[in-house]
Structure 1
């Protein structure tokens, strides 16, 4: 596979005319991140997880970029996401794992989507849909190895026999067996080893029941980057696909050979002088301590800026770092730009960018808001236009 070195500068977008704020997605970064993960994990295959609108980066854009980088599978949480990919012409192997009893599983079978069966009702519903369609459903068995969330937890042996019967009938074909870590971002946590051991046991039980387990996969982004023993046949990175570190205490994106694929930019809509002692934004939780210049940024919690990042969220204007002044409002926040600021309305504000370029990062925002970088990128609102760059790089 051809190695695509990371560029020294991020791809830049032409700003949307008239937009107050927008999200730029570097498809080449997604492609190159996946290529780096493919090299790291070979011979294990890579399933790029593109759920939640590809962590805010755009479902179809990210899926195509990930496949270009060497991913052999795509993964989504919701069945509707899988069907949207198929409707867009994406025909790669595709796994989904969340659907209610009311879901149209026939549509999933018609679209050649692999369905996770992580409970007896899941299996029964898929078998019924396969019988109705007169076809064989592609399924992946999910065992709960200790997370206490999705998957079969206490009755795995009973489930394996039911799955074996469905395989013998020709109602289902098992393409994989998987589970999910509780503490993958803490590689030395005792649950990590315990879950791996339980996973191996569960696979052995399937084989003993006469079921080929298919591709075995357990590793999310954190385990993909830090725990080679958990790679098995396939790894399932999500966050790392988009150039963010799932273990910021262990390494930055650059440390893992990744680069951020998302940039969030806004334009100042007002610049005005304020005297010392001026309260700023709701509740006056910030007060100017000198004569200064205030700038209005047209993004708020309706756009994905965490409300609890007031007086903490980092942005960059004209190459200088600033912190939100006062509370975040629904559609805007204020910056204290300092007495010497000589910019004007229309100047660009980098809300989120690449750490290698000294810009505020998703991790910076996560620390400021007391959350995780996953939440920062996935919460960017649909009303922000998406501009894609780097597709032909």
Structure 2
């Protein structure tokens, strides 16, 4: 290689790696945690989004930044736009702050390609005020709320990432990935109290090619929940608990058509959760859940380690029996072991009209958390095969 070519390569590399930075302090943010810094964040995002370079970065430095509900919208000019959080972002914590605003939303990114949200900082939803007036826990409270803000929403985002960040105390769901494609979540910590209502860790809906890896999630609801029209997901190396487990569904409510396929959950641990590997659908729905794999999972004092509930109802026993249902087939459970805190460690409760089929169970060992107590398997209207399963036998011969 000639010297000229070498120098041209260095210059080209330097140009390619150039990142324009937009620090919220330069836009008037106080970082005191007492003054609304929303305006500074909006303006920093505006300039980062419109700058005509390949890479741009919004920087949230050390400090505490109080934000009201915000929407960071694209499309943006840079090929990649980074949102680096080093400090702490907090909400007001007061439901009254949402008067006249969308009650489901706090921080949202919409129509952004190549978005990377990351950093060592904290995003704190300060959800206590919402929990104290939730209809689930306070049904007789006048003006109780059924809908509360999600901390971070990614709406119609492509080829994005969320990584190395702490997300805590959401009023409701912590992270929502919605109508997005090619999105990776890695090395995040999500935490809220075990009794906090409806605080799913990560919910995915109408999205494809989503990976969630190397994360610690403990909440008052599902650690990860997979909603409708979601496909090609890989979930790995998750520490889940407390919470309601890793769930597909619920799907098919109000006779809706569901489609979830190509989901793999593996190499993860669930500790002290109410459910483990769960699939839940409403009676009366239509569509399919198929090509699902749960493998290499450890359960530690989980109440329902393996569960399919094709007769899901928000108030058990009150839902009308229907002759249609979401079809569940081609589900693999392999190399699962650990302890159950209930007698029924495997419970496949499927519809008598739309059976679960193509269920494969291999190399499963589940025992009671109470040494010497038996555990059982219960499979109703489920068809499949099992090899090396304890407890067994589940399927009718």
TM-score > 0.5 by shorter chain: no
Give the shorter-chain TM-score range: under 0.3
Q: Could you say which structure has the higher strand fraction?
A: 2
Q: Could you say which structure has the higher helix fraction?
A: 1
Structure of greater relative contact order (alpha carbons < 8 Å, 6+ residues apart): 1
TM-score (norm 1): 0.27
TM-score (norm 2): 0.27
